[in-house]
Chains A and B, each alone.
Chain A
Amino acid sequence: MPTDTSTDQSTAVPALPASARATSNDDFRTLEAGLDALQTVPLAERGPWRRIVDGVLPPVLLLAALVVAWQFYVVIAQPRPDLVPGPFNVAASIGELWSNGRLQQAVLTSLARGGAGFLIAVAIGTPLGLLLAEWRLLRRALGPLLSGLQVLPSVAWVPAAIIWFGLTDATVYFVVLMGAVPSIANGLVAGIDQVPPQLRRVGTVLGASRLQLATLVILPAALPGYLAGLKQGWAFSWRSLMAAEIIAMGGSIGFGLGSMLQQSRDLADLPGVLATILVILFVGILVELIAFAPAERSLLRRRGLTAGGPR
């Protein structure tokens, strides 16, 4: 029973008219909808055409300017052509490599190996990252080692790998894995560490079991960090692959871009070397643009994490 004793106080306050007390339901809804409209800024989506122009034009223009400057230097300074070939020499070299089919073969071999190595690294790095994030003892024991491995240039493993596995694809894959697995595992750990504790708390409050908490809350919340780890893992795969291919040639190892680079060096063919470097760079950029950038952009946009997005 609500206690209702000090009647002298209550009479001091005149009763409010009913209209001043409650807002009718419809009025309230309109009021609230009005405030909602005031407080939300409509999203201004840029069209796809505009996005391409904004994203593609600046790097293409810069590239063109660099090539023009390079050509100017070659024309004006007249350096030794075997030391500084012009852009046309390099282009011609690419054309030649293309026409005899070695370029396509090297790109396909390297991409296939890099891709396969990366996928194996994902398959190993992901469960490893999960274990590290959730099992404190393992993290304390293995964490520093894994961070160390991330710093160690994976090319350092090539001599050991050649002794263990000989000149086979196993050597190449071993080096790629040593480069990529730590990045992927550490990326996932960082992603999980950055999951806001409120989200875990809400999951618990909503009655999620341990497994449900992991699959429905923690993993989706850790996705941005995981994707960053994957991206870095791919970069490490590609770099390690090139290093392994340059050093370990012959045997049963296929002919990749790194092998092509080393072969051009042996022939003192600088245009060929520069052409191969450009192709390696181009493949790296292409994978980033086709695979990772769109995934990252849509992930961040859906979560409102893009720069200049709404609040």
Chain B
Amino acid sequence: MIDTRTAPVTVDATTGTATTVAIQRQVAAPAIRVDGLTKRFGTDGPVVLDDITLSIEPGEFVCLLGASGCGKSTLLNIIAGLEHPTSGTVTVTSGSAAVMFQESALFPWLTAGRNVELALKLRGVPRAERPGQALELLDLVNLADAAHKRPHELSGGMRQRVALARSLAQDRKVLLMDEPFAALDAITRDLLHEELERIWRETGRTIVFVTHNVREAARLGQRVLLMSSRPGRIANEWRLADTGPRRIESPEVSRLSIEITEQLRQEIRRNAH
């Protein structure tokens, strides 16, 4: 059985947003349900994920945090359907999920606009509607002017934003993100946090965000799940009252980061024999 002690950390509730979000959450069925999920590589390889059970509400922003080798990316890949569990079940209520990776993986022979259009095409959007929709999606990430540019002409941050627009083009209720900002510099990452949060609020997507960056998790998540390594289990979770956008340098994020880091280090220490 997994250990899900809940250590709630509250962030001062000053606005009414928290309650409205909470009401929506009580009504709907979970967006993602993971039940007794175990994953091992090969028939008698090491257990990567051990009996993980969790449920993610529609519209929730969940950060999956852990040190290297805790299987957080594997868990995300299984939810995405890219890998298969050894035992247990994973249900994505809306069908399938959009995925965004650490590398933008834009198609280098297509312009930014065409990259988004390709996602629309694979979704079955009629040809005539694609350019307009692609431009709207690029505008959502503030890159409408860069639609004609090719990936190599864009900076790393811009490429990730095009990749984000491309994942949004899939029009799935669930967006899975695997360390999407890990390769970016701190200034760019800070802006992308703000961008992603705004898009999350505007589009109401359910987001599962994998990261090894504690502050990033504390900055973005409504709920932070800490994973232990070898085997990967959910070690702890923190829920944050949603009080609107917060800054990475804010005291509330710092306080939560300190607490999470403390426990993360405990989990890492357990691996020293």
B119 contacts A198, C-beta separation under 8 Å:
no
Is the CB of A212 closer than 8 A to any CB of chain B?
Answer: yes
Which residue of chain B has its CB nearest to the CB of A196? B105
User: A2 contacts which of B96, B103, B241 (Cβ < 8 Å)?
Assistant: B241
A11 contacts B12, C-beta separation under 8 Å:
yes
Of B29-37, B44-52, B147-155, B206-214, the one with at least 4 CB within 8 A of chain A: B147-155
A39 contacts B152, C-beta separation under 8 Å:
no
In the complex, how many residues of chain A place their beta carbon closer than 8 angstroms to a beta carbon of chain B? 51
Is the CB of B187 closer than 8 A to any CB of chain A?
Answer: yes
Determine the chain A residues whose CB is within 8 A of the CB of B158 once the complex forms: 36, 39-40
A199 contacts B245, C-beta separation under 8 Å:
no
B194 contacts A201, C-beta separation under 8 Å:
no
A141 and B187 CA atoms in complex are apart in Å by 53
- List which A263-311 residues lie within 8 A (CB) of chain B: 302-305, 309-311
User: A198 contacts which of B103, B109, B198 (Cβ < 8 Å)?
Assistant: B103
A32 contacts B12, C-beta separation under 8 Å:
no
- Contact mask for chain B residues 72-115; partner A; CB cutoff 8 A; 1 contact, 0 none: 00000000101000000000000010110101010111000000
Of A22-30, A72-80, A118-126, A163-171, the one with at least 4 CB within 8 A of chain B: A22-30
Residue of A35, A217, A223 with most partner-chain B CB within 10 A: A35
User: A9 contacts which of B9, B151, B156, B166 (Cβ < 8 Å)?
Assistant: B9
Instruction: State the total of A-B contacts with C-beta under 8 angstroms.
Output: 140
Of A48-56, A87-95, A203-211, the one with at least 4 CB within 8 A of chain B: A203-211
Is the CB of B230 closer than 8 A to any CB of chain A?
Answer: no
A212 and B154 CA atoms in complex are apart in Å by 26
Is the CB of A60 closer than 8 A to any CB of chain B?
Answer: no
- Determine how close the nearest CB of chain A comes to the CB of B60; give it in whole angstroms: 10
A4-B10, A11-B12, A201-B105 known; A207 vs B241 contact (CB < 8 Å)? no
Is the CB of B132 closer than 8 A to any CB of chain A?
Answer: no
B interface list, Cβ under 8 A from A: 6, 8-14, 18, 21-22, 25-26, 80, 82, 96, 98-99, 101, 103, 105, 107-109, 118-119, 121-123, 142-143, 146, 150-158, 166, 170, 187-188, 191, 194-195, 198, 222, 239-242, 244-247, 250-252, 255
A interface list, Cβ under 8 A from B: 1-7, 9-11, 13, 15-16, 20-23, 25, 28-29, 31-33, 35-36, 39-40, 43, 196, 198-199, 201-202, 204-208, 212, 216-217, 220-221, 223, 302-305, 309-311
- Closest 4 pairs between A and B when the two form their complex, measured CB to CB: A304-B152, A39-B155, A3-B8, A198-B105
- Return 7 A-B CB contacts under 8 Å, by A number: A2-B242, A15-B12, A23-B194, A29-B142, A220-B107, A304-B152, A305-B152
